[in-house]
Amino acid sequence: MRALDQALLSALMAIGDGRSNMGHWRQVVVGAVVALSVAGGTSAAAAAEEKVDRSTGAKAGQVAAAVEGSDAPTAATFVPVPDMGLAHRRSDGGINLFRMSVSALTEDFGVPTLVRSLPSKSGFSYDRAKVVAGDFGNLTAADDGSADHVIWQAASDGGIKVYAVGGGSDTAPRLVRTLPRTAGWSWTDSRPVAGDLNGDGWDDLVVVHASRNGSIVWALLSNGTGFNAPQRWGTVSGTFASTRTYVADVDGDFNEDVLTTAPGTSGVAFTTSVLLTKLDGTGAAGSTAGATFTTAGGWSLANSRQLAGDLTGDGLVDLVTVHRSSTGGMLVWVSANCSQAEGDVCFAAPVRRQTLSSWSFANSRQYIADVDGDFIDDLVTIHRSGNGGLFVWGHLSDGTTLTTPHQIAALPASAGWNWSLSREDVANTWGDIAP
Ligand SMILES: [Ca+2]
Ligand SMILES: [Ca+2]
Ligand SMILES: [Ca+2]
Ligand SMILES: [Ca+2]
């Protein structure tokens, strides 16, 4: 029996305990169809990566797979209920933190809520902070499983102060780590991203830091209630300033991997490589080439954005390239994941999934979220409105096509919203449907 199969059974046994401790689960208000399919060559469990019981570390996908093959009682169904975190610049230069559910399964879908206002005089600066949303653990006793925020704040010495704001009623920012300049840390030369590197169900803080040769990836692993000390995870090539970093599980082993998109040379517009996480989740195994986009193919790094999500619905994350059209509109391309086993990196040639000619690439930003809870990732766009506010749109994927975007929220300038003075991130939080 493989270790993963053992994990299936443990997950199934543990699920009862998990359900008795629901304090940090978000209750979902309507049902969802759970559609899991099996990826070729990998285990059934791999078809549902990341579906994790926060209480036990068990993965719902594993549980579902185990249930399917036995007469075991069906347990609660865990569904993605993604939360968007929004950081907005206060007039004094501080930060207003908001969260907004981008899950249609929740009652507060599309309704922004102020999490915390952080005035400039308390040391927070929108212009000198990078804000990451995630599900980092029970950061406070009142954590309700909604998005947590990490504020990567520039310190006066040029280093970093790391603050955490938990989801739920206790939103006081906690200083969880000071990374001094004297120890080599630089706010300017660092970039935080959220992702679950070691597959324990809690997002970790992944930090890319410039070094003499390429960049070093550091991990501040979540320990369930906070973060461990930074751990050197691996290295990526390409200069810090010219590369883009995102985190997703490419090879279906439940450990998220670090994706780097870097400019190419001689006919190559850009490449995406994958720093795979070791199977035991203790560090990176090494960088593997993932996909190449040529200038002859019309690709441009400056005119594109890269995301990773399972838009095809087979349980493996695909590369999503949002590209500017020749008229300034927006095209969505999907490079389907074709990896066959743990340790394998494979992406098929990109296929155009959507053309939005009247939209603006320059005046929009995109995120991945499962908006309708069908375990197929969808695209979310924040688009600038005519008067400088924000529109939030969902483009649902059914596995093969993207629907015409529907409006999730309008955040008008009249209510103080400003497209140019806000940034977003999506936390992959989870909810449950009682059996
Ligand atoms: Ca983790
Ligand atoms: Ca992986
Ligand atoms: Ca896929
Ligand atoms: Ca979906």
Q: What is the pLDDT of residue 432?
A: 78
Find the 219 Cα to ligand 1 centroid distance in Å. Answer: 10
In terms of DSSP bridges, do strands 430-433 and 26-27 run parallel, antiparallel, or are they unpaired? parallel
Q: Which of 87, 80, 199, 76 is nearest to 145 (CA)?
A: 80
- Residues near ligand 2 ion, CB 5 Å cutoff: 249, 251, 253, 255, 257
Find the 196 Cα to ligand 4 centroid distance in Å. Answer: 20
Q: Answer whether residue 12 shows pLDDT above 50.
A: no
Task: Tell me the whole-structure pTM to 2 decimals.
Answer: 0.85
pLDDT digits (tens, 9 = 90+) for 223-247: 999 999 999 999 998 899 999 999 9
Tokens (6 digits) for 292 = 């190449």
Q: What is the pLDDT of residue 434?
A: 60
From the CA of 312, which ligand is nearest?
A: 3
Mean pLDDT over 354-372 rounds to: 98
Neighbours of 213 (CB within 10 A): 8
Residue at token pair 């036990």: 56
The DSSP code sequence of 164-194 is EE-SSS----EEEEEE-GGGT--STTEEEEE
From the CA of 313, which ligand is nearest?
A: 3
Find the 156 Cα to ligand 2 centroid distance in Å. Answer: 37
Find the 82 Cα to ligand 1 centroid distance in Å. Answer: 17
Q: What is the pLDDT of residue 385?
A: 97
Find the 323 Cα to ligand 3 centroid distance in Å. Answer: 19
From the CA of 203, which ligand is nearest?
A: 1
DSSP alpha helix (H) spans, 232-367: none
From the CA of 316, which ligand is nearest?
A: 3
Tokens (6 digits) for 222 = 């979540």
DSSP for residue 403: P
Look over the chain and give the mean of its residue pLDDT values, rounded to a whole number.
Answer: 86
pLDDT digits (tens, 9 = 90+) for 74-113: 455 688 999 999 999 999 999 999 999 999 999 999 999 9
Question: Could you tell me if 349 and 54 are in contact, meaning their C-beta atoms sit under 8 angstroms apart?
Answer: no
Find the 376 Cα to ligand 3 centroid distance in Å. Answer: 8
Question: Residues with Cβ < 8 Å from 57, sequence gap 6 or more?
Answer: 200, 201
Find the 56 Cα to ligand 2 centroid distance in Å. Answer: 20
Q: How far apart, in whole angstroms, are the C-alpha atoms of residue 374 and residue 399? A: 10
* Confidence band, pLDDT 50/70/90 cuts, at residue 52: very low
Q: What is the pLDDT of residue 76?
A: 57
From the CA of 319, which ligand is nearest?
A: 3
Type of residue numbered 265 = T
Q: How far apart, in whole angstroms, are the C-alpha atoms of residue 143 and residue 66? A: 30
Question: Could you tell me if 284 and 233 are in contact, meaning their C-beta atoms sit under 8 angstroms apart?
Answer: yes
Task: Tell which phi-psi region holds residue 301, choosing left (phi > 0), alpha (psi between -120 and 50) or beta.
Answer: alpha
Find the 89 Cα to ligand 2 centroid distance in Å. Answer: 35
From the CA of 40, which ligand is nearest?
A: 3
Q: What is the pLDDT of residue 26?
A: 62
Q: Answer whether residue 424 shows pLDDT above 90.
A: yes
Q: Answer whether residue 215 shows pLDDT above 60.
A: yes
Q: Answer whether residue 71 shows pLDDT above 70.
A: no
Query: What percentage of residues in the chain have a pLDDT greater than 90?
Result: 79
Find the 47 Cα to ligand 3 centroid distance in Å. Answer: 9
From the CA of 79, which ligand is nearest?
A: 4
Mean pLDDT over 141-168 rounds to: 96
From the CA of 369, which ligand is nearest?
A: 4
Q: Answer whether residue 68 shows pLDDT above 80.
A: no
Q: Answer whether residue 17 shows pLDDT above 70.
A: no
The DSSP code sequence of 117-170 is EE-GGGT--GGGEEEEEE--B--STT--SS-EEEEEEEPTTSSEEEEEE-SSS-
Tokens (6 digits) for 315 = 């349980």
